[in-house]
Amino acid sequence: MSRRNIGVAIAIPEPFGSQLQQWRERFGDPMAYAIPTHVTLLPPTLVHDSELEKIDEHLGQAAAAERPFVMGLRGAGTFRPVSPVVFVQIAVGIGDCERLEKLVRSGPLERPLRFPYHPHVTVAHDLPDDVLDEAFGALSGYSADLTVSGFSLYEHGRDGIWRPQRDYALGQLIPGRSI
Q: What is the mean pLDDT of residues 50-60?
A: 96
Q: What is the pLDDT of residue 33?
A: 87
Q: What is the mean pLDDT of residues 31-60?
A: 95
Q: What is the mean pLDDT of residues 16-23?
A: 96
Three-state secondary structure string covering the chain? CCEEEEEEEEECCCCHHHHHHHHHHHCCCCCCCCCCCEEEEEEEEEEEHHHHHHHHHHHHHHHHCCCCEEEEEEEEEECCCCCCEEEEEEEECHHHHHHHHHHHCCHHHCCCCCCCCCCEEEEEECCCHHHHHHHHHHCCCCEEEEEECEEEEEEECCCCCEEEEEEEECCCCCCCCCC
Interval 85-94: pLDDT, tens: 999 999 999 9
CATH 3.60.150.10 corresponds to the domain 3-169: no
Q: What is the pLDDT of residue 175?
A: 55
Q: What is the pLDDT of residue 179?
A: 43
Q: What is the pLDDT of residue 28?
A: 94
Q: What is the mean pLDDT of residues 35-49?
A: 96
More confident call, 33 vs 162: 162
Q: What is the pLDDT of residue 177?
A: 47
Which of 62, 148, 73, 63 shows the shortest CA–CA distance to 110? 62
Interval 130-170: pLDDT, tens: 999 999 999 999 999 999 999 999 999 999 999 999 999 99
Q: What is the pLDDT of residue 174?
A: 62
Q: pTM for the complete prediction?
A: 0.92
Q: What is the pLDDT of residue 115?
A: 87
Which of 30, 27, 18 shows the shortest CA–CA distance to 130? 27
Q: What is the mean pLDDT of residues 45-74?
A: 96
Is residue 178 very low, low, confident or very high in pLDDT (cuts 50, 70, 90)?
A: very low
